Amino acid sequence: MSRQDTSDIIFRRVLAVFPISILILVAGIFFQLVWTSIPSIQKFGLGFLFHSTWDPVSENFGALPFIFGTCVTSFVALLLAVPIGVGVAIYLAEYAPVKVARVISLLVDLLAAIPSVIYGLWGIFVLVPFMYKDLQPFLGKYFGFLPFFQGPNYGVGFLAASIMLSIIILPFIISVSREVILAVPSVYKESAYALGSTRWEAISNIVLSHGRVGILGAVILALGRAIGEVMAVTMIIGNNVKISASLFSPGYTLASVIANEFAEADTTLYLSALIEIALVLFLVSIVVNILARILIWSVTGGNSKEGIK
Amino acid sequence: MKEMIQKSFERTRLRREIWEKSMVVVLFLCAIFVLFILFNILWHLIVQGISSLNLDFFTHLPKAVGESGGGMANAIVGTFVLLILAVCVGVPMGLGAGIYLSEFAHQGFAQTVRFMTDVMNGIPSIVFGIFAYTICVMPMKTFSAISGGLALGLMMIPMITRTSEQFIKMVPNQLREAGLALGIPQWRVILDIVLPTAIGGIMTGIMVALARVAGETAPLLFTAFGNRYYAHSLTQPIAALPLQVFDYAISPFDDWHRQAWAGAVVLIGMVFLINIWAQYFVASRNRWMSGK
C-alpha cells in the first residue's frame, strides 16, 4: 500500500471526518447538557444531588428522590436477574444439548429485541395486576415484618419497576455471561473432571471463578442498561416523588422523571434542572460502561466480536 | 477405621451427587422461567393485539378523544418518515467511520474511536432525546420530525460503525492487493472492490440498528412529540408508532387500550421483520462467498 495518489490523500482526509466527528459528538453531548443546565447548576450547586425536595411550584429542585429510586430499582433488579441470568448462561453453555441451546439463545435474543414500550404495556396490563392481586399481598402477609414489604399496596411502585427491569436486563446478562463462560479454556474444566469432580463442581470452582471478572462486567453492563431504561419504568413505577423503605411505594427514577415532566417544564430553571438530571444520567452511564468494557475486554481479549479477522 | 473412612467417603459422594443433580434441575428451571416470561408477553400480544387489529387500524386517523374506532395510519407513516431521516443521519456517519477505522486508522486512534462508540452505545436513549431537543427543538422553537430523526440517527451511529468495521475487515487482503497491483488507486479499491464484497454484512448491521431504533420511544418524547394527524412538513411534530402506543397505554379509555395492543403487535411485527430481513443479507452474502 505504498502508492499514495493525491486522490488517495483527499479520500483519506475526507473519510477521517467521520470518526473524528464521533469523538466530537460525544464531547458535544456532554457540553450541550452542561451548557443548558447552567441555571440549575448555578442555583443549586452540588446540593442538587443531595436535596430531597422537588417542588416545581416554588422552583426548589433536588434530585435525591430520583437517585434513590434509580439505585433501589437497579439494585433489586440485579438481585433478581443475576442469579437467574447466570444460571441460564451456565445451562446453555455447559448442560443443554447444542440444538436446545441454539433455540433458547434465539428466543433470548427475541426477548432482547422487544421494544421497551411493549414491556411497559405488558407491565401495565399483566404485571401490575399480578403484583396487586397476588405477589404483593403474599409478600405483605409472610414477609410483612420486613420494612421493604410494608405499606399500602397499589400494584405500581418500586417492586413492579424492579421486576420489569430484571426482565429487561436478563437477555444481556445471559448472552454476555454465556460468551464469558464459553471463553474459559476447556482444558481447565477437563483437568477438574480428571481429578474426579462432578460437572457442577467443575463449573462452580473452575469456570465461575475463572470467568468471574467477565461476569461482573456483564452485570455492570446490565446495570447501565437498567439505569438508562425509560419507558417501561415510567409506565409502572407510579411517578411519585418519595423516598421510602417500602418497595410497594410508588416512586420515580432519574430517567422516568425526565420522561414524565419534561413536557410540562414551563420555566427555564425547571427545564435546566431536568436537563441536569439527564447530565447525571449521562455521566453515570459513561462511568458504568467504561468499567464494564474494561472488565469484559480483559477477559475476552479485546472483545470477541473484534477477533474475527 | 477403614470402614469409617469408607462410610464418610460414601456420604460425601452421595452429597456431591445430590448436589449435582439438583443443580441441573435448578439451572433448567431458570431457563424455563425465562422462556415462560417471553411466551407470556408474546401470548398477550397475540391474543389482545391480533383481536384488536383491523383494516381501519392501518388506514384511518385516530378518532377524537372518547370516540371509539379509528386507527394509527398517521403513526405508521410517521414511524417510516422518522426511520428514513434516521438512516440519513446514521448510515453515512457510521459507514464512513467504519471504513476509516478498518482501512486507515492507526492502532491508538482506532482504539479510542472504538471505545467511544462503545460508550456512546451505552448512553441512555433519553439523553439523545434531550440532546436533540437542545440543539434542534430549542433553536427552531417547535417539535419536529427532523429532531426526532436526528435523535434516532445518532443512536444508530455506534452500532453501524462497529458492524461495518468488522465486516470490512473480513474482506480478504488478497482482494485489496490484487486491485492495488493493477494500479488502481486505493480509494477506488475500497469503493469498487472492498465495499461491494462487504455489502451484505454492512446491510445487516444497518438493518439491525434500524430494528433497534424503530421501537424507541424515549428519544421521541420531546422531539417528534406526536401528532394526531399527518404531518405535512418535516418541521412539524410527527406521530410515531411507539409514541402512540405509549400515549394510548397510559390513557383511561378501554378502546385506546385495545388500540395500544394492536399498535404493539404492529410495532413488534415491524421490528422482527426488519431483523429477519437483516439475516437475509448475511445469508445471501454467505451464498455469494461460498459460490466463489
Q: CATH number for the domain including A202? A: 1.10.3720.10
Q: What is the mean pLDDT of chain A?
A: 90
Q: What would the mean pLDDT of B122-135 be, rounded to a whole number?
A: 94
At B261, the amino acid letter reads W
Q: Per-residue pLDDT for A150 more than 90?
A: no
Instruction: For residue A246, give how far its alpha carbon lies from the nearest alpha carbon of chain B (Å).
Output: 24
Give the tens place of pLDDT for each residue, A101-137. 999 999 998 999 999 999 999 999 999 999 999 999 9
Contact predicate B203/B94, CB 8 Å: no
Please, which residues bridge with residue B62 across strands? Answer: B70
B134 to chain A: which residues are within 8 Å by CB? 32-33, 35-36, 275
Q: Per-residue pLDDT for A170 more than 90?
A: yes
pLDDT at residue B4, rounded to an integer: 84
Listed in sequence order, the residues at least 6 apart from B191 whose beta carbon sits closer than 8 Å to its beta carbon are none
pLDDT band at A307 (very low <50, low <70, confident <90, very high): very low
The reply to whether A59 touches chain B by the CB within 8 Å rule is no
Q: How crowded is residue A205: how many other Cβ atoms within 10 Å of its Cβ?
A: 14
Residues 139-158 of A with CB under 8 A from B: none
Q: Domain residue spans in chain B?
A: 2-52, 60-291
In percent, how much of chain A has pLDDT > 70? 95
A285 to chain B: which residues are within 8 Å by CB? 122-124, 127
d(CA A246, CA A250): 9
User: The domain B60-291: what is its CATH number?
Assistant: 1.10.3720.10
Q: What would the mean pLDDT of B97-108 be, rounded to a whole number?
A: 91
The reply to whether A30 touches chain B by the CB within 8 Å rule is no
pLDDT at residue A210, rounded to an integer: 87
- Name the residue range of residue A98's domain: 37-308
Give the tens place of pLDDT for each residue, B163-212. 999 999 999 999 999 999 999 999 999 999 999 999 989 999 999 999 99
Contact predicate B116/B165, CB 8 Å: no
Q: Is residue A225 part of a domain?
A: yes
pLDDT band at A309 (very low <50, low <70, confident <90, very high): very low
Contact predicate B179/B193, CB 8 Å: yes
Among the listed residues B85, B69, B89, the one whose alpha carbon sits nearest the alpha carbon of residue B77: B85
Q: How many domains does chain A have?
A: 1
Q: Per-residue pLDDT for B278 more than 60?
A: yes
Find the closest chain B residue to A114 by CA distance. B268
Joined together, the cell numbers standing for residue A167 give 426482565
Find the closest chain A residue to B215 by CA distance. A115
The ipTM (two decimal places) reads 0.90
A87 vs B40: CB contact, 8 Å cut-off?
no
At residue B62, φ and ψ (nearest 5 deg) are -60, 145
Q: What would the mean pLDDT of A69-88 be, rounded to a whole number?
A: 96
Instruction: For residue B213, give how far its alpha carbon lies from the nearest alpha carbon of chain A (Å).
Output: 9
Q: Is residue A1 part of a domain?
A: no
Among the listed residues B134, B261, B273, the one whose alpha carbon sits nearest the alpha carbon of residue B214: B273
Contact predicate B153/B85, CB 8 Å: yes
A262 vs B154: CB contact, 8 Å cut-off?
no
Q: How many residues does chain A have?
A: 309
Listed in sequence order, the residues at least 6 apart from A40 whose beta carbon sits closer than 8 Å to its beta carbon are A48, A61, A269, A272, A273, A275, A276
- Global pTM reads 0.91
pLDDT band at A302 (very low <50, low <70, confident <90, very high): low
Give the tens place of pLDDT for each residue, A223-251. 999 999 999 999 999 988 988 889 999 99
Q: What is the mean pLDDT of chain B?
A: 90
Q: Is residue A244 part of a domain?
A: yes
B128 to chain A: which residues are within 8 Å by CB? 29
Joined together, the cell numbers standing for residue A210 give 475463572
pLDDT at residue B1, rounded to an integer: 75
Q: Is residue A118 part of a domain?
A: yes
Give the tens place of pLDDT for each residue, A184-236. 888 998 999 999 888 999 999 899 888 888 899 889 989 999 999 999 999 99
Q: What would the mean pLDDT of B21-35 be, rounded to a whole number?
A: 94
Residue B203 to residues A302, B167, B206, B212, B230, Cα–Cα distance (Å): 24, 10, 5, 14, 30
Contact predicate A166/A111, CB 8 Å: no
Find the closest chain B residue to A97 by CA distance. B28
In percent, how much of chain B has pLDDT > 70? 96
Q: Which helix (H) or strand (E) covers residue A61, if one does?
A: strand A60-61
Q: Is A152 helix (H, G, I), strand (E, B) or coil?
A: coil
Beta-carbon pairs below 8 A across chains A and B: 261
pLDDT at residue A298, rounded to an integer: 74
